[in-house]
Amino acid sequence: GDLSQDAAMRIARLAQGHPFALIELGRAARPSSPQDHPGRSLPAEVARAIRARLLDVADDTLQALQQLALAGDGLDGATALALAGASQDEALARLDRALAAGVLDAAEGRFRFRHALVAQALLDGLAPHRRALLHARIARQFEQAGAPPGRIAAQWMAASQVDAATRPPGRVTVT
């Protein structure tokens, strides 16, 4: 069937000029599409192709990218460093590898995924238990960095830890 104008515009925005993504997202938007997979934001073929592009990225960098994708786009340098590694040297090396691989862009002191589909493919590849664990880790790192309470609470909620999300600001979790 035909796509509505709203659906076509959404697909065009998501694809950001990439023909492969445009075709696959269009196929997945059709109601009878065999690529329609519940619980995924991207068609399996698109996510698989993007993750294949990331195969040359080291596992530790891939894990750092998953944390960055969960934390949100447009992270400042200090936050990106805190999320990317245990030590500053590790974090710098991981961010450098992600920049060299063309996965991240850095402009005006902020890190963004070069393409929203890359971030979504990273998220679609996370099992629910790992996603919750990473959200909790991000929340703790945000608390230690003094991030805004709303941003911290959003991570705790995504980790399904409502008690932590409703805790008064300034009470850092030690787990």
pLDDT, tens only, 107-147: 998 999 988 888 888 888 789 999 999 999 999 989 988 88
pTM: 0.70
- Do 21 and 45 form a contact (C-beta atoms < 8 A)? no
Q: Using one digit for the tens of pLDDT, what is the confidence trace for 17-30?
A: 666 566 666 666 65
CA distance readout (Å), 137 to 3, 129, 174, 175? 40, 12, 11, 10
- Residue scoring higher pLDDT (171 or 72): 72
List all residues 6 or more positions away from 150 whose beta carbon is below 8 Å from its beta carbon.
Answer: none
Per-residue pLDDT, 102: 85
Per-residue pLDDT, 38: 40
